[in-house]
Structure 1
Amino acid sequence: MAENTEHRPPRRRGLRIALFTLAGLVLVGAGLGGIAYWKLNGNIHGVDISGQLGTARPPASTGGAFNVLVLGSDSRSGANGSLAGGETGDTARSDTAMVVHVNQAHTAASVVSIPRDTLVSRPACTAPDGKQVAAARSAMFNSAYEVGGPACAVKTAEQLTGMRMDHFVEVDFTGFAALIDAIGGVDVTTTVAIDDKDSGLHLDPGTHHLGGAQALAFVRTRHGVGDGSDLGRIELQKEMVKAMLGQIGSLGLTSNPVAMWKLGDRLTSSLTTDSDLASVNSLVGMAQTIKKIGPDQLTMVTLPVAYAVSDPNRVVPKTPDAQQLWTALRTDQAVPPQVLQQQPANPAMASPSAPGSAPASASASVSVPATARASRPAVAGGGAE
């Protein structure tokens, strides 16, 4: 899934920040109490997803289970530009996407990472400025956010999964780096060497303690991991998510009001949620709901994909595994064993399946040459966007 950079301006090259910072943020929020409550509420940017999408959506979750679409924004505006590099501007994509399913008992969660260049059927949407965005039979998943904003990203995720996204959370560069620094950094383990001139990260195999800037580089590393696609990077991101949750759970931040205030102020300033979640009270309420879920109660997988026969740089959901995964989550079941078996233990082994038939929503007219598939790198070396 090598990047096609010929048609993509530098300002749009960006982060695949894999964040499940929702869990970290709400756990922190649980201790805020009345500390500058009004200011933190004002920091949070809420989007009326339900109002924009109306009733033409999958049914709301019942029995206590719920789903959250978590996006990492690659915006270079403001302080994000100095962290990410490249040109600054207002254009942004949802270059990291995770569907988080919390079970009915609120004792476990399944997190499904969707590679950003997965070809999907993108529904017709209304952009935040009121412009109508036409449906597309075969579009990259992350294009929905770019052309139609958060509501279009949610609508596309719902069409792909068949599940209602009960909540939406978006975090940018600044929020991610601030979280890592505020919790004192994280310990991560990589099984492959990372020597990435683009992100500036250089790590030998082993365990390392990373601060905010290094952690950001860690989750951006792409070209030299696995086949050079998002799949290798997603494996690094999974390591980061579990490290973050473990670190947050061990700090006892609720007993330190000063640290709580600093972290809460930074994060809420970088946070966009659906309007129902856009308050400290709502975030604290969710914190209480998921308080039993720690790293050991998370099942993290990547959506099963295969190379698209229409384009060797793109992937499509792999049949029937992808459908079985979404069906399991819709019925509040565990991730199917066949999906778990496909998850690589080593980022250098992450690669899509051989070319597969594209779904009806993604046209397929050209076979992928074997030479194109064989040329993809297989070991870590470097590269981030």
Structure 2
Amino acid sequence: MTANSLRAEEFATGPADRPGEDAKGTGKGAGRPRRGRRILKWSAATLAMLVIGTAGAGFVYYEHLNGNIKKARLNLGDTPVPEATPNAAGQTPLNILMIGSDSRNTASDLKLGGSKGDVGRPPLGDVQMLLHLSADRSNMSVISLPRDTMIPIPKCTDPDTGKVYPALSLSMANESLGRGGPGCTVATWTELTGVHIDHFMMVDFSGVVSMADAIGGVPVCVKQNVWSHTAEGHGSGLKLEKGTHPVKGKQALQWLRTRYGFEDGTDIGRTHAQHMYINSMVRQLRANARLGNPEEMRKLAEAATDALTVDEGLGTVKKLYDLSMELQKVPTDGITMTTLPTVQWTQDRNRLVPAPGDAEQLISMVRDDDALTGLADKKPTPAATSTDPAALPADIAVRVRNGTGTAMEAPAPQRASAVTKLLQNQGFSGATADTTPAAEPDTEVLYPGPDQEGDAQAVADALHIPLKRARQSDDVQGVTLVVGADWRTGDTFPKPKPKKVPESAAVLNGEKADACMDIQQGFTW
């Protein structure tokens, strides 16, 4: 086992905004009053070191380090999401939810921010990033969710106490963590995106100082002098001169938690700064020879594993090392950082909601394993026509479900009945509308076994649904057409639009070494 790879799990964090604060710090939203300092920000160390996955430390610390790692249930919700479909080579994508907790339940975390009154309160997941490793391991996409975003949170059950947290129709994204643990945040992302999440990794905010020092600092850039400080005492305290500087220790922590001073002073600008830091750290780590020092790696491994909470399927040093070996296959220019597109919430100008169209476009590209870089700009291989002969349309029983609902939209009314009539007009007289609730982002034709593959493809072909949308599923008893959110209206299945990452996603490629943060007016010196 390598100490390098074991250190992979550190997050950079800092003090946090509380629910109920507005983007300008005036505290007008519903929730807890503003606290003077901000929170934990993202695990640059986690992503960066996992990507690197170096080798060298001894096995002697293996059991000890295993004991440091804390484990929790992967998913506390009750909505199943099917596993990803393998590609032609039998490979499947890997999705990992990275969570930054603002917990102040250790002395080291409390020292970095917050007050003694914070000890014992439910933590907030103020940093949430979905890391998607492509099936062919050629690229990796990361989607950040600004913590001010209002989204539905599903019902979650605390596995330790049995307490049931009822579903919330709309709440700040960071509140899911306090509703039973990281498994509720996983459940929230699962329902929001329709993406099967394989693992989560969560840390509190005591790791970034030693990590940044260990690699000699992480270069970051500002376009003007910046001081994240207000007359009321808010801000991270970051003070940098114009240009590029290697930030270390507490200054790195300040960079990662800075909101006041970057761009428009909102959480969106903060996610952009975190992306710059992560990409820069990855480049530093891949070029930094000093990390071969065994003693430094031992200290890093101790701190990293002690700060880490993962799901039960990722709870050993060996499994973390294996994951790092997968992630290191991605070249630097195959890493793409994005922020979920959002717009101002109409009910509260200090809150955000996913942007109609753009948010789903970005999510669908990740869900479909489309590269967000130019590395894999290749036409998808069409599905092969089944060798199983289809029955006559009149002899194929088809159930049609309305799965057009999304996390932000109610199902289109009577959609199953409307599509059932379309099938009946095509000769599928046995088609019936099924009232069983469903929510699927993509329209699919499901079938239970190989002997019904031909029938399912016949249904897809009759409605001009791509044959790759016909797939086997253990969740159905017969051929079942689930009309997804991509076909809410109309008699003709919509032609797929050209895949393009929306500009509002603020793409940052891992190779972009000249990125530089814009500074908010009034925060220069």
TM-score range, shorter chain: 0.7 to 0.9
Cα distance in 1 between the residues matched to 2:125 and 2:240 = 27
Aligned to 2:510: none
Cα distance in 1 between the residues matched to 2:261 and 2:338 = 21
Aligned to 1:95: 126
Q: Cα gap change, 1:60/1:329 in structure 2, threshold over 3 Å: closer, same or farther?
A: same
Identical-residue share of aligned pairs (%): 34
Cα distance in 2 between the residues matched to 1:208 and 1:268 = 29
Aligned to 2:502: 339
Instruction: Work out whether residues 152 and 168 of structure 2, in 8 Å CA contact, stay in contact via their aligned partners in 1.
Output: yes
Aligned to 1:167: 199
Correspondent of 2:170 among 138, 151, 154: 138
Cα distance in 1 between the residues matched to 2:55 and 2:81 = 30
1:270 Cα offset (Å): 0.5
1:16 Cα offset (Å): 4.7
Cα distance in 1 between the residues matched to 2:249 and 2:273 = 15
2:46 is aligned with 1:46: no
Q: Cα gap change, 1:251/1:338 in structure 2, threshold over 3 Å: closer, same or farther?
A: closer
Q: With a CA cutoff of 8 Å and minimum separation of 6, indicate the structure with the bigger relative contact order.
A: 1
1:83 Cα offset (Å): 1.5
Partner-residue secondary structure (3-state), 1:337: coil
Instruction: Work out whether residues 44 and 278 of structure 1, in 8 Å CA contact, stay in contact via their aligned partners in 2.
Output: yes
Partner-residue secondary structure (3-state), 1:283: helix
Q: Please tell me the residue identity of whatever aligns with 1:381.
A: F
My pick for the range that moved more, 142-151 or 155-164, is 142-151
After superposition, residues 1-385 of structure 1 pair within 5 angstroms as: 1-3=23-25, 5=27, 7-9=31-33, 14-26=38-50, 27=52, 30-50=55-75, 52-53=76-77, 56-61=79-84, 62=86, 63-78=91-106, 79-87=108-116, 88-91=118-121, 92-127=123-158, 128-197=160-229, 198-252=235-289, 255-335=292-372, 336-340=499-503, 343=506, 347-348=517-518, 378-379=520-521, 381=523
My pick for the range that moved more, 205-214 or 174-183, is 174-183
Cα distance in 1 between the residues matched to 2:36 and 2:56 = 37
Cα distance in 2 between the residues matched to 1:176 and 1:85 = 17
Q: Deviations over 1:192-225 (max 9, x none)?
A: 4320233221012210111121000001110232
Cα distance in 1 between the residues matched to 2:197 and 2:36 = 26
Instruction: Work out whether residues 220 and 516 of structure 2, in 8 Å CA contact, stay in contact via their aligned partners in 1.
Output: no
My pick for the range that moved more, 281-290 or 223-232, is 223-232
Q: Please tell me the residue identity of whatever aligns with 2:244.
A: T
Tell me how large the CA RMSD over aligned residues is: 2.4
1:4 Cα offset (Å): 5.5
Cα distance in 1 between the residues matched to 2:500 and 2:219 = 29
Aligned to 1:372: none
Q: Please tell me the residue identity of whatever aligns with 1:190.
A: V
Q: Please tell me the residue identity of whatever aligns with 1:34.
A: F
Q: Cα gap change, 1:29/1:277 in structure 2, threshold over 3 Å: closer, same or farther?
A: farther
Instruction: Work out whether residues 137 and 327 of structure 2, in 8 Å CA contact, stay in contact via their aligned partners in 1.
Output: yes
Instruction: Work out whether residues 2 and 229 of structure 1, in 8 Å CA contact, stay in contact via their aligned partners in 2.
Output: yes
Partner-residue secondary structure (3-state), 1:36: helix
Q: Cα gap change, 1:159/1:301 in structure 2, threshold over 3 Å: closer, same or farther?
A: same
1:247 Cα offset (Å): 1.7
Unaligned segments of structure 1, at least 5 residues: 350-377
1:173 Cα offset (Å): 1.4
Q: Deviations over 1:303-353 (max 9, x none)?
A: 00000001111011001011111111111002353424652876448xxxx
Cα distance in 2 between the residues matched to 1:256 and 1:223 = 37
Q: Please tell me the residue identity of whatever aligns with 1:141.
A: A
Q: Deviations over 1:30-86 (max 9, x none)?
A: 433414111111111111215x446x3211234321111101111222201112244
Which has the larger share of helix?
A: 1
Cα distance in 2 between the residues matched to 1:114 and 1:341 = 13
Instruction: Work out whether residues 10 and 86 of structure 1, in 8 Å CA contact, stay in contact via their aligned partners in 2.
Output: no
Instruction: Work out whether residues 253 and 260 of structure 1, in 8 Å CA contact, stay in contact via their aligned partners in 2.
Output: no
1:245 Cα offset (Å): 1.1
TM normalised by structure 1 equals 0.84
Cα distance in 1 between the residues matched to 2:331 and 2:46 = 13
Q: Please tell me the residue identity of whatever aligns with 2:142.
A: V
Q: Cα gap change, 1:21/1:159 in structure 2, threshold over 3 Å: closer, same or farther?
A: farther
Q: Cα gap change, 1:10/1:307 in structure 2, threshold over 3 Å: closer, same or farther?
A: closer
Partner-residue secondary structure (3-state), 1:218: helix
Cα distance in 2 between the residues matched to 1:243 and 1:35 = 32
Q: Cα gap change, 1:380/1:233 in structure 2, threshold over 3 Å: closer, same or farther?
A: farther
* The structure with more radius of gyration: 2
Q: Please tell me the residue identity of whatever aligns with 1:23.
A: L
Cα distance in 2 between the residues matched to 1:329 and 1:235 = 19
Instruction: Work out whether residues 153 and 168 of structure 2, in 8 Å CA contact, stay in contact via their aligned partners in 1.
Output: yes
Cα distance in 1 between the residues matched to 2:271 and 2:214 = 23
Cα distance in 1 between the residues matched to 2:194 and 2:36 = 29
Partner-residue secondary structure (3-state), 2:120: coil
Cα distance in 2 between the residues matched to 1:290 and 1:53 = 27
Cα distance in 2 between the residues matched to 1:332 and 1:214 = 36
Q: Cα gap change, 1:210/1:183 in structure 2, threshold over 3 Å: closer, same or farther?
A: same
My pick for the range that moved more, 215-224 or 61-70, is 61-70
Unaligned segments of structure 2, at least 5 residues: 1-22, 230-234, 373-498, 508-514
Partner-residue secondary structure (3-state), 2:59: coil
Q: Cα gap change, 1:347/1:186 in structure 2, threshold over 3 Å: closer, same or farther?
A: closer
